[in-house]
Amino acid sequence: MTSTTEAPAGAGRGVSTPVPPRRRRKIRADDVGRILFVLPAGIAMALLFGYPVVKNVLMSLQEYTLTTFFTGEAPWVGLANYADVVSDPIFSQAMLNTGLFTAGSIVFQFAIGLALALFFKQKFPLSGPLRGLLLLPWLLPLIVSSATWRAILEQDSGILNQFLGLFGVEPIGWLVSPSVALIAVIGVNIWIGIPFNTTLLYSGLQSIPDELYEAGALDGATHAKAFRYITWPSLRPVISVVLILGVVYTLKVLDIILGLTGGGPANATQTLATQSYQRSFVDFEFGHGAALSNILIVISMVFAVVYLRRGRQAADE
């Protein structure tokens, strides 16, 4: 943005006087064209993203309840909704859980995704079909995945505990013990997130020219060294995209947690997203729900801004 506006100004200053007006006129015509091209997308964005966001902010400042839907009356309460949700003891637990859920998911999704991407980079028979199979978790509707995993993790008859039982392990309350449930939910989310990481990282790996490795090999850079000095640096832009998008997606995960534990047991897997859902669509306190989701949006925005800046840096390079 800054570079495009500065460049003509700087150019204008350097050139003799009759030129700039003509240039300026030309730029204006260009701008109209550009604006016309951007306008439909801008309107669509405003309607599809702007309206809900603004509405959500307004809602969080109102006492928006069941009655509002019938009478249209929602008194303004200022920041009371925010004060209410933040002072709720569940809020700090939900914040902590959101942090643990996001960090845990991202670290393992990424590490496993990268390992698999590197593995599939090697040429071996059936690597194509296997890579296709790997996409399965991503293609399944989340509600199906969570129902299946719920059955797998069931304490008494779930296949995981039956399998562990073969090795003499006592049944573990994957979804019913507050100390284990969050780990189980993170585990399932990792499983769901691996294909996304693998796919993007794999395509990133594909774009690294083989010549780099050949040249590196001549210099004695093989395996670990090649990864450290060639793969990792070349993959960096993709990695930052994968991580930042992953964080934004994971922060707002709702269906998996609802499907597996519903936020329980005893709020052990409650996150900001599930709390927001609970407040809005179970308790029908839409103002509280909106306040929580706005807090979530602000947290996501931090990462989105980082993502945009990264993207711009990459473009500038």
Partner 1 sequence: MKRRIVTTLAGGLSAALALSACSGDDGTGGGGEPETGDVTSLSILDYYNNDPDKTLVQEGLDACADELGITLERETVPGADLIQTVLQQASSQTLPDVLMLDNPEVQQIAETGALLPLDEHGVSTEGFAQGIVDASTYDGHLYGLQPVANTIALFYNVEILEEAGVEPPTTWDELREAAAALTEGDQYGMAFNANATYEGSWQFLPPMWTNGGDETDLTSPEVAEALQLWVDLVESGSASESVINWTQGDVKDQFAAGRAAMMVNGPWNIPALNETPEVQWDVVQFPVNEPGQTPVAPLGGEAWTVPVTGDEASQAVAVDFVECLNSPEQQLDWAAARYTVPTRTDLAEEYLAERPEMEAFTEQVANARSRTGQLGPEWPDAATVIYEAIQLALTGQAEPAEAFEQASSR
Binding segment for partner 1 (CB under 8 A), chosen from 20-28, 65-73, 226-234, 297-305, is 65-73
Q: Which one-letter amino acid corresponds to residue 21? A: P
What's the min distance (Å) between Cβ of 171 and partner 1? 9
Give yes or no for residue 137 binding partner 1 (CB under 8 A).
Answer: no
Give yes or no for residue 90 binding partner 1 (CB under 8 A).
Answer: yes
Give yes or no for residue 145 binding partner 1 (CB under 8 A).
Answer: no
C-beta closer to partner 1: residue 197 or 280: 280
Helix axis angle, 232-251 relative to 286-316, nearest 10°? 170
Q: How far apart are CA 185 and CA 191, in angstroms?
A: 10
Residue 32-61 contact track with partner 1, rule CB under 8 A, x = bound: ------------------------------
Query: Which member of 265, 304, 306, 307 binds partner 1 (CB under 8 A)?
Result: 265
C-beta closer to partner 1: residue 99 or 265: 265
Give yes or no for residue 284 binding partner 1 (CB under 8 A).
Answer: yes
Helix (H/G/I), strand (E/B), else coil: 15: coil
For the stretch 84-100, what's the b/e string if a residue is b when 16 or more beta carbons lie within 10 angstroms of its beta carbon?
bbeeeeebebbbebbeb
Query: Which member of 43, 219, 283, 314 binds partner 1 (CB under 8 A)?
Result: 283
Give yes or no for residue 281 binding partner 1 (CB under 8 A).
Answer: yes
Query: Which member of 50, 67, 96, 130 binds partner 1 (CB under 8 A)?
Result: 67
Residues, the chain: 317
Q: Which one-letter amino acid corresponds to residue 98? A: T
Q: How far apart are CA 61 and CA 80, in angstroms?
A: 7
What's the min distance (Å) between Cβ of 66 and partner 1? 5
What is the 3-state composition of the chain as percent helix, strand, coil, each rounded to the nearest 5? 80, 0, 20
C-beta closer to partner 1: residue 183 or 205: 183
Query: Which member of 5, 16, 17, 71 binds partner 1 (CB under 8 A)?
Result: 71
Query: Which member of 261, 271, 275, 276 binds partner 1 (CB under 8 A)?
Result: 261
C-beta closer to partner 1: residue 109 or 293: 293
Q: How far apart are CA 183 and CA 269, in angstroms?
A: 9
Q: How far apart are CA 202 and CA 135, in angstroms?
A: 12
Binding segment for partner 1 (CB under 8 A), chosen from 17-25, 87-95, 129-137, 201-209, is 87-95
Phi and psi, residue 76, nearest 5°: -75, 135
Q: How far apart are CA 189 and CA 86, in angstroms?
A: 26
Task: Dump the DSSP string for 287-304.
Answer: HHHHHHHHHHHHHHHHHH
What's the min distance (Å) between Cβ of 263 and partner 1? 7
List interacting residues with partner 1 (CB under 8 A).
Answer: 66-67, 69-72, 88-90, 154-157, 173, 175-178, 261-268, 281-284
